[in-house]
Amino acid sequence: MAGFKFKFGSHKQDWETPDELFEPLDDEFGFTLDVCATPENAKCPQFFTERDDGLSQKWHGVCWMNPPFGEQGKWVKKAYQSSLEGAIVVCLLPARTNTNWWHSYCMKGETRFIQGRPKFKGAKHGLPQPLAIVIFRPPN
C-alpha cells in the first residue's frame, strides 16, 4: 500500500482541469468566470487567483470551480450560496459522499459522476478517487 500512497501523493493543489473534461461543459454552460485559478491554469478569461481570494469575492454569471483538494468544503458552501444569489456554479469535486459538505450542499445540486480516472494536465497518472460534477443553479 505504501507504493500506492506515494505514487499518487502530491502537495500540488493547482492541477489544471483536462480539456476533454472541461470543453464539453464549457460548450454546455458557456463559462464566464473561473473562481479559483492561477494565471497558468485558468479556464476562463476572467478568473480569481489565490491573491484575489475567490472565497471573499462576489461570484456572478456562469462559474467554473475546480477547488484546491483538501479545501472543498468551504468552496462548495460558497458555490451553493452564490447560486442562491443568481450565479450558476459548475464544480469539479471528489465524490466524497460521506462528508458533511457533500450532504449539506452537493445534495442540493445536480450531480454527474465521472467515469474513469481523468488525468489532470501535468500529472503522470489519473486521479485514483471518484470525481463528480456538481451543478448549482439559481432558484426559480
- Mean pLDDT of successive 10-residue segments in the chain (140 residues)? 40 70 96 95 95 97 92 95 98 93 97 77 63 95
Listed residue (127, 70, 132, 140) closest to 107, CA to CA? 132
Would you state the pLDDT for residue 2?
A: 41
Would you state the pLDDT for residue 3?
A: 42
Would you state the pLDDT for residue 13?
A: 55
Cell reading at 42:
485558468
121 has which bridge partners?
16
- How far apart are alpha carbons 74 and 55 in whole angstroms? 8
Residue at grid coordinates 502530491: 10
In degrees, to the nearest 5, what angle opens at C-alpha 21 toward C-alphas 19 and 25?
A: 100
- How far apart are alpha carbons 36 and 57 in whole angstroms? 11
Cell reading at 80:
451553493
Q: Domain limits of the chain? A: 14-136
Would you state the pLDDT for residue 17?
A: 85
List the alpha helices (DSSP H) in 1-140: 2-8, 19-29, 72-84, 100-104
Would you state the pLDDT for residue 105?
A: 97
Would you state the pLDDT for residue 70?
A: 79
Cell reading at 55:
472565497
Tell me the CA end-to-end span of the chain in Å, nearest whole number.
48
CATH classification number, 14-136, choose in 3.40.50.150, 1.10.10.10, 3.30.413.10, 3.40.50.300: 3.40.50.150
Query: CB-based burial of residue 31 (10 Å sphere; 0-12 exposed, 13-18 middle, 19+ buried)?
Result: buried
